[in-house]
Amino acid sequence: MESENVLVGVIGGSGLYHLDNLTFIKAANIETPWGYPSSPISICSLPSGARVAFVARHGKHHSISPSAVPARANIAALKRLGVRAILAFSAVGSLREEIAPGHFAIPTQIIDRTKGIRPASFFEGTSVVAHAAFGDPFSLKLVKWLETEVEKTLKEHGGGVVLHKDKCIVCMEGPQFSTRAESIMYRSWGADLINMSVLPEAKLAREAELAYALIATATDYDSWRPHSETVTASQVLQTLQANANCSRHVAASILEDLHLAASQGDILSEEKGSMSFSIMPKSGDQKDEDVQKLAYILPQYFNPAN
C-alpha cells in the first residue's frame, strides 16, 4: 500500500469507534507482516483537506479484548500510511479522589502490570536485537503540545471537564478488573490511573519512531475506595458515552492544528532517529527475512538491498 501522506493517526478506545467532523475518504484494509489491524483503518479528511487515519482499538463493534488487540499490526499499518504522531484515547479507572469520573488526563509515566502474553516488540521472534529507550514512555513534546491545546478546548467547550497533567498510569492485563488489594497497592506505588491498553501500544510506537501520547478519560474510581462499590463494567458504561462525545469534540478541535504542528516537525524531533542506537550492530546472523520484515516499519535501518 502506498503512503497516504497521513501524518496524524488516532487510536480510539472503548466507546470511541469513530470521530466527528471528518470527511470519510476510504477504509484501508492493510495486511502487515504482523497481520491485520483491529479494524480497517479509516482515512478521513479534515476541513483543510489534510488527512488523518483512525483505528478502533477493539474493532468497530468492540469484539477484541485488551489482551488480544493486534497492537503490532495497528502501529505498523499506521506507520506504513505515513503517520508520524499518534493520538490515542483510552477509558481508564481513577486511583485518585481528585480525578473524578468524566475528567480527562494526559499521563507521562506507565507502570507495566501486563503478564507477558502480549507480543510487545517488533523484534520479538526475529534474529535482530533492539533495546528502545522507554524511560519517558510518551513523547514529551507531543504531551506538552496536547496539554495546552486540550486544556484550551475543554475550558472553552468542555462543559466543566477537568484536565489532569503529569500522571502515572498502570497498565494491567485484565480482562477482569483489579481486586481492592491491587487497587490500593497501585496507589501506594504512586499510580494515578489504570487501564488495560496503553501497553504494548506505547512501546511499539517508540520502536517505530512514532510520537505517541494518550488522552485518558476517567470512567470510574476502580476498587480502592473504602466504603464504595468496586468497579463494574456497568459503572464504566455509565460514563463512557459522555467521555466519548467529549473525546470526539476534543479531536475535532485539535486535529487540524496537530496536523500542522506535525508537518512543521518540532513535536516529532524526539522520535526521529531514536532507534539508531537501540538496534544491536548488524551481524551475519541476521536473517534476510527478518531484515525484510523490519524494513516495513524502519526502512531507514533495514534496507533489504544492503
- Residue with smaller CB distance to ligand ADE, 93 or 200: 93
Angle at 292 between CA 288 and CA 296, to 5 degrees: 165
With contacts defined by CB under 6 A, name the span among 23-31, 43-51, 190-198, 258-266 that binds ligand LNRAV4D5.
190-198
Does 250 help bind ligand LNRAV4D5 (rule: CB under 6 A)? no
Task: Pick one of ligand ADE, ligand LNRAV4D5, none as the site partner of residue 258 (Cβ within 5 to 8 A by kind).
Answer: none
90 binds ligand LNRAV4D5 (CB under 6 A): yes
Beta bridge partners of 121: none
Which of 8, 46, 91, 163 is the binder for ligand LNRAV4D5 (CB under 6 A)?
A: 91
The answer to the question of residue 9 lying near ligand LNRAV4D5 (CB under 6 A) is no
Q: Does 178 bind ligand LNRAV4D5 (CB under 6 A)?
A: no
Round to whole Å and give the CA distance between 181 and 209.
37
In angstroms, the CA 95 to CA 106 distance is 14
| Nearest partner of 268 among 119, 12, 86, 137, judged by Cα | 86
Catalytic residue among 112, 136, 222, 266: 222
Give me the catalytic one of 112, 136, 166, 220: 220
197 annotated to bind ligand: yes
Any binding-site annotation on 186?
no
Residue 12 and residue 88: Cα distance in Å, rounded?
A: 6
User: Taking a C-beta distance cutoff of 8 angstroms, is the pair 84, 262 a contact?
Assistant: yes
Distances (CA, A) of 123 to 73, 130, 140, 158: 13, 7, 24, 41
What's the rounded Cα separation, in Å, for the pair 212 and 238? Answer: 28
Residue ranges in contact with ligand ADE by CB under 6 A: 91-93, 172, 177, 194-196, 219-220, 222, 231, 236
Are the CB atoms for 221 and 8 separated by under 8 Å?
no
So which residues are the catalytic ones? 220, 222
Annotated binding site for phosphate: 14, 57-58, 90-91, 197
Q: Which residues bind ligand LNRAV4D5 (CB under 6 A)?
A: 13-14, 57-58, 66, 90-91, 174, 195-197, 233, 236
